[in-house]
Amino acid sequence: MTQPVLEVTNLSTHFPTRRGVIKAVDEVSFTVGQREIVGLVGESGSGKSITGFSVLGLVDPPGRVVSGSIRFQGEELTQLPQKAMRAIRGKRIAMIFQDPMMTLNPVLSIGTQMVEAVLAHDRVSRTEARNRARDALGMVGIPSPEERLDAYPHQFSGGMRQRVAIAIALLHRPDLIIADEPTTALDVTIQSQILYEIKRLAQEFSMALVWISHDLGVVAALADRVLVMYAGRIVEAGPVEDVLSQPAHPYTLGLMQAIPSAVPRGEPLRPIPGMAPSPLARPSGCSFRDRCQRATEICSAEPRLDILADREWRCFHPNEGRAA
Amino acid sequence: MSVFIIRRLMQSIAVLFVTAVVVFLGVYAIGDPVEMLISPDASPAERAQVIASLGLDRPMWQQFLTFLWNAVHGDLGRSFVFNRPTISLILERLPATLELTLTALVIALAIGIPLGLISGLKPNSATDEAIMTGSILGFSLPSFWQGMMLIMIFSIWLGWLPSTGRGELGSFLGIQSSFFTLDGLTHLILPAINLSLFKLSLVIRLTRTGVRETMPLDFVKFARAKGISERRIVFVHVLKNILIPLVTVIGMELGSMLAFAVVTETIFAWPGIGKLLIDSIMRLDRPVVVAYLLVIVSLFILINFVVDILYSLIDPRVRLGEQS
Ligand SMILES: Nc1ncnc2c1ncn2[C@@H]1O[C@H](COP(=O)(O)OP(=O)(O)OP(=O)(O)O)[C@@H](O)[C@H]1O
Ligand code: SF4
Ligand SMILES: [Mg+2]
């Protein structure tokens, strides 16, 4: 087997606050293979973005990676000095953010923001950098890219801004792109165009992709493998078809019953009852316990990770009919 | 652009007209100049003759119309006291005030922006606390008291710097200014510092607040994710955004500095328009007071115009002529 692009082991990222420590990411392990598209799903606040930021070393203080290992192409990132980390960001690992209205600096032209991204890593002339920026814009389907370089973010629609962000992420043909809900803020038609576009580009440049989303439907359409995150932990992982056809963890099942596209017409959507626990007051044992219909006495202990072939889950009472 | 300028001009004329009415009426309320100008033992005939020669015997509306008619033709009246055109009295002294104000502004920006950046980037550090304490002093101690302290320390105790007057003037490209001689510069230091202290504190706070509000924004994180150096993030991405509120406030404050120069000019016997104003109010020299206020209002209008142009240069979202 070839070496994975990204290998995250027992990663914990904590935010010390006045009222206690928030374990935004809690002992998370996963890998991303070469050219693999991995979906990371979970409700709001489950720790998806912080997982992504941890990989890039961009967790805002006072938050920090407190333990665990992040190996990128065999290189340990958690111990890397700032300067070396900066050489990786944007060059070998790129990130796309959730809200395209906020990711571009409103007072700098698109060209400036793209050229600086080229020059941050490559010693080329300004003209050369500008040409590369123009080509990247063309590649993501922005019409008349040459002129658009001189435009400012407010002159673009949300969908177009997200394309610009994708173009910036592609400038250096990174080995890994972390896309943090890049289509959530867009309307549905544009969302599917961008999904299609990213999938095509990832294949074309043989990039690995971590796709963060709270929508299992989106992940189903895109990913090879899915990681389900709840309250800072990964509670289920496996190939996307297997997990979606036979979810093992009650939380995954809950998520599936809450996606509009997965529920047969006429049947009501069933949102998961209750709310995600406050990150400061998670129940002991399985943190899904007070929302879970299958919960029993034993769930007040910590469920361990069960691994069966290419699937894994953390649950004492996984669903019947799961991976045979 | 030309629509913008024409609209601006019309607004300015309206503002000047209203100012003229208000000022003319207001100045009428501050006492009868005749008592100050004519010796108590003049005969009634002499008295009547002086009053007639000054035009003070006619009804107020007539005096106002005459004033307005002359003003439109560039004549803002003659000083009762100096018997010279008020406008030349003011223009004679305006350079001294502008020199003082601009130096104070440069000091406030050149020191205030770096200190504000340092404070904002390391909030709650010892350096930040020290800078903030200093700026509170700059805010809360009255300007005249600060001026007297400056004189006491630097002129009286240490004897380093002169405390009165403008010093020797040098001439460069036909402009007479204390910028061009060493003596002039040493005279400028204390009054300029005195005038700048309040603005300096203001600039520090604005910059600090701007940094603290801008640093957590997504576009800063996105710039980091591109691998941009921290220096470029601060001095290009963040600073350019902070300039927007800074220019607004500085524009407003520049006008108030011209007006506040009155206090500083009085303390340091600086021969500018502020001192002329105080002297003229004391002597009830109405035409000078009216002309002074009109000149100040014109300067305000000019400053606002420049600020709007600067805005459109800094912020691409602002287009001249489109704002109301
Ligand atoms: N700056 C911070 N200070 C304190 N806690 C934080 C901070 N940023 C994130 N957290 C905590 O980390 C947890 C995970 O946040 P994260 O942004 O990763 O969620 P998410 O899964 O991306 O959710 P969403 O779908 O809303 O983006 C949250 O519960 C939040 O309370
Ligand atoms: S461990 Fe128990 S509470 Fe947790 S998901 Fe499984 S059944 Fe539910
Ligand atoms: Mg998020």
Nearest chain B alpha carbon to A168: B226
Burial class, A128, CB count within 10 angstroms (exposed 0-12 / middle 13-18 / buried 19+):
middle
Residue B239 has pLDDT above 90, yes or no: yes
Best residue of B222, B228, B233 to probe chain A, by most A CBs closer than 10 Å:
B222
Q: Picking from A67-71, A119-123, B319-323, which range would have the lowest pLDDT averaged per residue? A: B319-323
Higher pLDDT, A59 or A266: A59
Mean pLDDT over B159-168 rounds to: 76
Confidence of residue A323 (pLDDT cuts 50, 70, 90): very low
Bigger pLDDT: B56 vs B254 = B254
Render pLDDT for B127-150 as a digit per residue (tens, 0 to 9).
Answer: 999 999 999 888 888 888 888 888
Q: Examine the pLDDT at B1 and tell me if it is beyond 90.
A: no
ipTM: 0.90
With a 6 Å cutoff on the Cβ, whether A235 touches ligand 2 is: no
What mean pLDDT do residues A201-224 have? 90
Q: Residue A156: is its pLDDT beyond 60?
A: yes
Q: What is the mean pLDDT of residues A145-158?
A: 92
> Residue B140: CB partners within 8 Å, gap ≥ 6?
none
Residue A289 DSSP code? G
Q: Is the pLDDT of residue B303 over 70?
A: yes
pTM above 0.90, yes or no: no
- Give the model's confidence band at A295: pLDDT under 50 very low, under 70 low, under 90 confident, else very high: confident
The whole-angstrom separation of Cα A300 and Cα A284 is 6
Average pLDDT score, chain A: 89
Answer whether residue A249 shows pLDDT above 70.
yes
User: CA-CA distances (angstroms) from residue A322 to A38, A271, A319?
Assistant: 20, 22, 6
Is A295's C-beta closer than 6 angstroms to any atom of ligand 2?
A: yes
Are B286 and B36 in contact by the 8 Å Cβ rule? The answer is no
Q: Which of A76-85, A146-155, B37-46, B276-285 has the lowest mean pLDDT?
A: B37-46
Residue A324 clears pLDDT 50, i.e. is over it: no
Q: Which ligand sits nearest to residue A25's alpha carbon?
A: 1
Question: Quick one: average pLDDT of B105-126?
Answer: 93
In whole angstroms, give the CA distance from residue B84 to residue B78.
Answer: 5
Where residue A263 falls among pLDDT bands split at 50, 70, 90?
Answer: low
Contact B316 A97 (CB under 8 A): no
The string of DSSP codes covering B167-201 is ---EEETTEEEGGGSHHHHHHHHHHHHHHHHHHHH
Tokens 């460069």 label which residue? B172
Summarize pLDDT for B69-95 with one digit per residue, the tens.
Answer: 877 777 777 787 888 888 888 888 888
Q: Which ligand is nearest to the CA of A51?
A: 1
Assess whether pLDDT exceeds 90 at residue B278: no
In short, whether A294's Cβ falls inside 6 Å of ligand 2 is yes
The predicted structure's pLDDT at residue B320: 60
- Mean pLDDT across the stretch B194-199? 89
A116: closest chain B residue by CA: B228
Residue closest via CA to ligand 1's atom 12 equals A24
What per-residue confidence (pLDDT) applies to A233? 93
| Terminal CA-CA length for chain B | 14
Does residue A228's CB lie within 6 angstroms of at least one atom of ligand 2? no
SS3 category, A22: strand
| Atom in ligand 2 nearest the alpha carbon of residue A251 | 5
Nearest chain A residue to B230 by CA distance is A86
Place A319 in a pLDDT band, splitting at 50, 70 and 90. confident
pLDDT exceeds cutoff 70 at A321: no
The position carrying tokens 């590649």 is A139
Q: Binning pLDDT at 50, 70 and 90, where does residue A302 land?
A: confident
- Closest-CA residue, ligand 2 atom 1, reads A315
Give the pLDDT score at B23: 80
User: Which of the listed residues A40, A48, A234, A278 should we mutate to test ligand 1's pocket, taking the one with most ligand atoms within 8 A of CB?
Assistant: A48
| Ligand closest to CA A213 | 1
B222 vs A262: which has the higher pLDDT: B222
Mean pLDDT score, A249-256: 90
Q: Do the Cβ atoms of B225 and A86 come within 8 Å?
A: no
Helix (H) or strand (E) holding B255: helix B239-267
Where is average pLDDT lowest: A301-310, B165-174, B206-215? B165-174
Is residue B324's pLDDT more than 60? Answer: no
Q: Quick one: pLDDT band at residue B31, thresholds 50, 70, 90?
A: low
Q: What is the pLDDT of residue A103?
A: 93
Measure A252 CA to ligand 1 centroid, in angstroms.
20
- Looking at per-residue pLDDT, the higher value among B171 and B210 belongs to B210
- Which atom number of ligand 2 is nearest to the Cα of residue A318? 6
- Of A205, A204, A247, A207, residue with least CA distance to A227: A247
User: Quick one: average pLDDT of A52-77?
Assistant: 94
Nearest to A108 among B224, B226, B240 (CB): B240
Is pLDDT above 80 for A273? no
CB contact under 8 A, A86 and B227: yes
Cα A52 to ligand 3 centroid, rounded to whole Å: 9
Domains located in chain A, CATH noted: 6-33+42-92+213-262+272-323 (3.40.50.300)
Q: How far is A93 from A176, CA to CA, in rounded Å?
A: 5
Q: What confidence score (pLDDT) does residue A294 get?
A: 87
Which band of pLDDT confidence, cut at 50, 70 and 90, is reported for residue B29?
low
**Secondary structure class of A30 (helix, strand, coil):** strand
